[in-house]
Amino acid sequence: MSDEKKLFKVTIDNITIDVEPGTTILHAARQIGGDVTPPAMCYYSKLKGSGGKCRTCLVEVAAGSTADPRPMPKLVASCRTNVMDGMIVKNITSERVQDARAGVVEFLLLNHPLDCPICDQAGECHLQDLGYEHGKEGTRYEFKRRTFEKEDIGPYIQLHMTRCILCYRCTYVADQLTENRVHGVLDRGDHAEISTYISKAIDNEFSGNMIDVCPVGALTDKTFRFKNRVWFTKPVEAHRDCDKCCGKVTLWQRGDEVLRVTARKDQWGEVESYEGKTGWICNTCRFDKKSVKDWVIEGPSKVNRHSVISQGHYVGVSQPKETMPEVMGGRAPKLLMDIHDVSGVNTVNISALPGPATSKNYTKNEQ
Amino acid sequence: MGRKLLLEKAHVENIRLYDVYRQQGGYRSVEKALKSMSPDQVTEEVKKSGLRGRGGAGFPTGMKWSFLAKPEGVPRYLVVNADESEPGTFKDRYLMEFIPHLLIEGMITASFALGSNTSFIYIRGEYAWIVDILEQAIAEAKHNGWLGKNILGSGFDCEIYVQRGAGAYICGEETALIESLEGKRGNPRIKPPFPAVKGLWDCPTVVNNVETIAAVVPIINEGGEEYAKIGVGKSTGTKLISACGNLNKPGVYEIDMTISVEEFIYSDEYCGGIPNGKKLKACIPGGSSVPILPANLLLKTAKGETRYMNYESLADGGFATGSMMGSGGFIVMDDTQCVVKHTYTLARFYRHESCGQCSPCREGTGWMEKILLNLENGKGKMSDIDLLWDIQRKIEGNTICPLGDAAAWPVAAAIRHFRDEFEWHVTNPEDALRRNYGIGHYADPIHVPVG
């Protein structure tokens, strides 16, 4: 039995889980799921070296391990800290963490323009979600926001540097997916910017993936620009034989028109993996195949029902049937008045009527 | 008169040249270490000396050396941090400019102890002329057989290279320095892994300050125990202090950490007091990042004991009523200085030098600068002071590297000790543009010694 791997026991917000050694706190929390998972703006599990920068995933380590139960003095970045056996982590149960996270959200939004109404990312923007879940209602910043000169980085990708939160994900994509990176972070501090340096345009077969990894609307699809709002489009899973990439994509349709093609995303907003390989897609699939005929349709994508994209599509919604007696102190719920008893609405079979229903049909006497 | 170890020979004419330096007893420590000691014995000697890192944090050097991972077949590196960019600190510049061979000598001994065959000096780009001085010293040392293959027949090879930075304060942070040395953008790395395990090109690396490495020379020459007898408690040996600001005699002084702050400022042997009969208002005792102290807390601790120029005494009282030894950049301000303006200057510096990698530091430093500029120009509000406090609190401790803390501490300390001056700027906006607040009621109730 010595071959069996020893699992580490880690407690996050009083929920204990066994994880393999080498797992980060963030991944352990993702295995638990739900509210316990810290948000992550810069970390991307498919990109080596990412994370640690945005500081939204800070958690408090109340006990380092069974062997050394001292707490860690500072909050740690959960995406880059590995769990130890017997570690006790506090995320939503720690006031320090909540306070620091609200601070980070405020910092991230300081210079971020509030142009969501004209931003193509709106509706699938991680910063929107973060601000909604962890931010404060207002900002205390009273100064002019930082802006940048507009820069053209080629025919496919639109760069809005003012929206950038400097997560560095797109530079990792360029480093790890392509042979040479032509863009990077220039300058430093609050005037640091994503830009190309020598080449004017970013031109390689996988550059489009920068759009998928961008958590905000700093990098958007030029072929989809101002075409539609994401919540008006319908995501459909589709695939095609592609010699460059896996060919598994999500088509964003309106009617039969394919407005946009992206890689498939998992519940954490990251590109999905197939058989251990990340499903990055090539620029041909993304930008050139904009017709339903190019694709084999698999069916509608599952969209989290909390997402604005699922508005109007009440898929997978179930009405609660059983009441929980313990909530009511053992009593069964009782309505003061059942509306159906007094209204005649539900007694009328509309389809049986010869014509459209009128108020006459609902008057009991005349039926 | 305190004992001098590093700057003892600094005033000998032409000490910069190898022949003079050798005549004055230079390179004895290399002879001693390579001929009669093992690397572990050298490390042991440094441990015994109680030498603490002179770059700012004050971590015991011997301990740092013993943490160095030593896997088989992997090279190890010694990197000397000469990226001295902290406002108010200029001790390493003095050392390298006048006695460069002391650094080279210390580096050879330290490289021997750590098993580093290739050692680097990472020097800040603005010290362009010092690069030439160091290169010349290295060439001379090499010519005379102190560098290269099989030094003194001991079988130990060592080469030293000088690398110029491009003028970034952040590259003084050890992992950012390593990144920059590798030819990348100088962003601090996320720790762990620490450089002692994975540093330069993923090999075990020790990064030490110039003064720390120079102090290895007297330690080996005199023995660690002898060195530990100088100074008090855990503050052993001598420390270079670069004194500047409103002083009669600013400059680099070597102290043995037994003198009081009062003596250091007012005695003729050291800074010689404050010019034009002005009064002492405040002082930053260890380089711009450490908390500023008002005169009464500077000369005496909160308990009323005399404050001495050493690690423990300066830190007495924590951040509430104490400060830090830091890198030894001693900035003195007289009663004509404005703390708000001074804090703004520092905030501007940190905003400009933030690498922009993690959000609290990138956005927070710029925000603090803007608020402080408003306050300084009399456009601030009372709530701005509390806002500043809240911003610094949210930066401190939440960043990747200590630059966030370094940007937050001066602001925190200025508000903590000089809040009434900030409030005066808000309540008297027109006055604030015309004149300074002066010494206020927090200034020193202690007598000012004459001479």
Please report the domains of chain A, with CATH numbers, ordered by start residue. Answer: 8-96 (3.10.20.740), 111-224 (no CATH), 230-310 (no CATH)
Alpha helices in B84-223 (DSSP H): 91-98, 100-114, 128-143, 174-181, 210-222
The closest of B358, B438, B433, B431 to B394, measured between CA atoms, is: B358
Tens-digit pLDDT profile for residues B331-378: 999 888 899 999 999 999 999 999 989 899 999 999 999 999 999 998
Q: Report yes or no: A83 and A112 within 8 Å, Cβ to Cβ.
A: no
Give contacts of B355 with chain A, Cβ < 8 Å.
Answer: 188-189, 192
Contact A188 B358 (CB under 8 A): no
Tokens in use for A318?
A: 């179930």
Q: Is A331 left (phi over 0), alpha (psi -120 to 50) or beta?
A: beta
Strands B239-245 and B329-334: parallel
Question: What is the pLDDT, as a whole number, of residue B233?
Answer: 83
Which class for B5: exposed (0-12), middle (13-18), buried (19 or more C-beta within 10 A)? buried
Smallest Cβ–Cβ distance between B356 and the set A51, A56, A188 belongs to A188
Contact B387 A140 (CB under 8 A): yes
The closest of A98, A87, A78, A72 to A37, measured between CA atoms, is: A78
Given a cut of 50, whether residue B448 has pLDDT beyond it is no
pLDDT band, very low/low/confident/very high, at B392 (cuts 50, 70, 90): very high
Query: CB atoms < 10 A from the CB of A65, how many?
Result: 17
Most B CBs within 10 A among A58, A107, A166, hence the mutation to make, goes to A107
Give contacts of A107 with chain B, Cβ < 8 Å.
Answer: 359-360, 362-364, 367, 394
* CA pair distance A59, A57, nearest whole angstrom: 6
Tens-digit pLDDT profile for residues B227-268: 888 888 888 889 999 999 999 999 999 998 889 999 999 988
Tell me, yes or no, if B379 comes closer than 8 A to chain A by beta carbon. Answer: no
Tell me, yes or no, if B164 comes closer than 8 A to chain A by beta carbon. Answer: no
Tokens in use for B349?
A: 């510096």
Give contacts of B173 with chain A, Cβ < 8 Å.
Answer: none
Percentage with pLDDT > 90 across chain B: 51
Most B CBs within 10 A among A190, A191, A194, A195, hence the mutation to make, goes to A190
Question: What is the pLDDT, as a whole number, of residue B451?
Answer: 37
Q: Report yes or no: A106 and A98 within 8 Å, Cβ to Cβ.
A: no
Question: What is the pLDDT, as a whole number, of residue B13?
Answer: 86
The closest of A172, A194, A219, A161 to A49, measured between CA atoms, is: A172
Query: CB atoms < 10 A from the CB of A25, how many?
Result: 26
Q: Tens-of-pLDDT digits for all 367 residues of chain A?
A: 455 678 899 999 888 999 998 899 999 999 988 888 999 999 999 998 888 899 999 999 998 888 888 898 889 999 999 998 889 999 988 899 999 999 999 999 999 998 999 999 988 899 998 998 888 888 899 899 988 888 888 889 899 999 999 999 999 998 888 888 888 888 888 888 888 877 678 888 888 899 999 999 999 999 999 988 888 888 899 999 888 888 899 999 888 889 999 999 888 888 888 888 888 999 898 998 888 888 898 988 888 777 888 776 666 666 666 666 666 677 766 666 767 666 666 677 777 777 777 777 777 654 4
Contact A187 B356 (CB under 8 A): yes
The closest of A112, A162, A109 to A137, measured between CA atoms, is: A109
Q: Cβ contacts of residue B184 below 8 Å, gap of 6+?
A: none
Give contacts of B365 with chain A, Cβ < 8 Å.
Answer: 189-190
Q: Report yes or no: A251 and A299 within 8 Å, Cβ to Cβ.
A: no
The residue written with tokens 């003012």 in the block is: A162
For every residue of B213-255, DSSP letters joined together read HHHHHHHHHH-HHHHHHSEETTEES-EEEEEEES-SS-EEEEE
Given a cut of 50, whether residue B136 has pLDDT beyond it is yes
Question: What is the pLDDT, as a whole number, of residue A189?
Answer: 86
Tell me, yes or no, if A165 comes closer than 8 A to chain B by beta carbon. Answer: yes
Query: CB atoms < 10 A from the CB of A102, how many?
Result: 14
Looking at residue A22, the DSSP 8-state letter turns out to be T
The closest of A209, A224, A143, A223 to A174, measured between CA atoms, is: A209
Contacting B residues, span 395-424, partner chain A, CB-CB under 8 Å: 397-400
Tell me, yes or no, if A58 comes closer than 8 A to chain B by beta carbon. Answer: yes
- For residue B283, give the H/E element and its range: strand B280-284
Largest pairwise CA distance in chain B:
73
Single pTM value for the model: 0.86
DSSP reduced 3-state for B211: helix
Tell me, yes or no, if A52 comes closer than 8 A to chain B by beta carbon. Answer: yes
A219 bridge partner residues: A159
Average pLDDT in the B188-199 region? 88
Q: Which of A158-172, A302-316, B190-204, B418-432 has the least mean pLDDT?
A: A302-316
pLDDT band, very low/low/confident/very high, at B292 (cuts 50, 70, 90): very high
Give contacts of A77 with chain B, Cβ < 8 Å.
Answer: 190, 400
Contact A108 B363 (CB under 8 A): yes
The closest of A327, A312, A304 to A34, measured between CA atoms, is: A304
Give contacts of A188 with chain B, Cβ < 8 Å.
Answer: 168, 170, 353-356
The closest of A348, A258, A270 to A297, measured between CA atoms, is: A258
Q: Cβ contacts of residue A343 below 8 Å, gap of 6+?
A: none
Q: Report yes or no: B87 and B346 within 8 Å, Cβ to Cβ.
A: yes
Average pLDDT in the B200-205 region? 92
Distance from the Cα of A190 to chain B's closest Cα (Å) equals: 5
| Chain pair A-B, CB pairs under 8 angstroms | 89
Tokens in use for A245?
A: 């990439």
The closest of B201, B29, B198, B183 to B109, measured between CA atoms, is: B29
Average pLDDT in the B122-131 region? 92
The residue written with tokens 């390689």 in the block is: A204
Average pLDDT in the B54-66 region? 89
B116 bridge partner residues: B76
Most A CBs within 10 A among B352, B357, B359, B398, hence the mutation to make, goes to B359
Contact A189 B360 (CB under 8 A): no
Question: What is the pLDDT, as a whole number, of residue B445?
Answer: 44
CA-to-CA separations, A80 to A74, A163, A174, A210, in angstroms, rounded? 14, 25, 21, 22
B192 upstream amide cis, omega within 30 of 0: yes
Tokens in use for A15?
A: 């929920």
DSSP reduced 3-state for A57: coil
Distance from the Cα of B364 to chain A's closest Cα (Å) equals: 6
The closest of A235, A268, A263 to A248, measured between CA atoms, is: A263
Give contacts of B168 with chain A, Cβ < 8 Å.
Answer: 188
Angle at alpha carbon of residue A13, lines to A8 and A17, rounded to 5°? 25
* CA pair distance B261, B444, nearest whole angstrom: 14
User: Could you give the domains of chain B?
Assistant: 18-229 (3.40.50.11540), 235-334 (3.10.20.600), 339-434 (1.20.1440.230)
Contact B366 A189 (CB under 8 A): yes
Contact B394 A185 (CB under 8 A): no
Contact A51 B190 (CB under 8 A): yes
Which class for A210: exposed (0-12), middle (13-18), buried (19 or more C-beta within 10 A)? buried
Q: Give the up-direction half-sphere exposure of residue A142: CA atoms within 13 A in the CB hemisphere.
A: 15
Smallest Cβ–Cβ distance between B400 and the set A52, A99, A165 belongs to A52
Average pLDDT in the B406-417 region? 92
Tell me, yes or no, if B144 comes closer than 8 A to chain A by beta carbon. Answer: no
Question: What is the pLDDT, as a whole number, of residue A318?
Answer: 64
Strands A183-186 and A193-196: antiparallel
Tokens in use for A143?
A: 């100064």
Which residue from A minimizes the CA distance to B186?
A188
What value of ipTM does the predicted structure carry? Answer: 0.87
A235 bridge partner residues: A252
Q: Helix, strand, coil proportions of chain A in percent (round to 5)? A: 25, 20, 55
Contact A166 B168 (CB under 8 A): no
Report, in angstroms and rounded to the nearest whole number, the Rg of chain B calculated over CA atoms. 22
pLDDT band, very low/low/confident/very high, at B441 (cuts 50, 70, 90): low
Angle, helices B403-427 vs B359-376, to 10°: value is 20
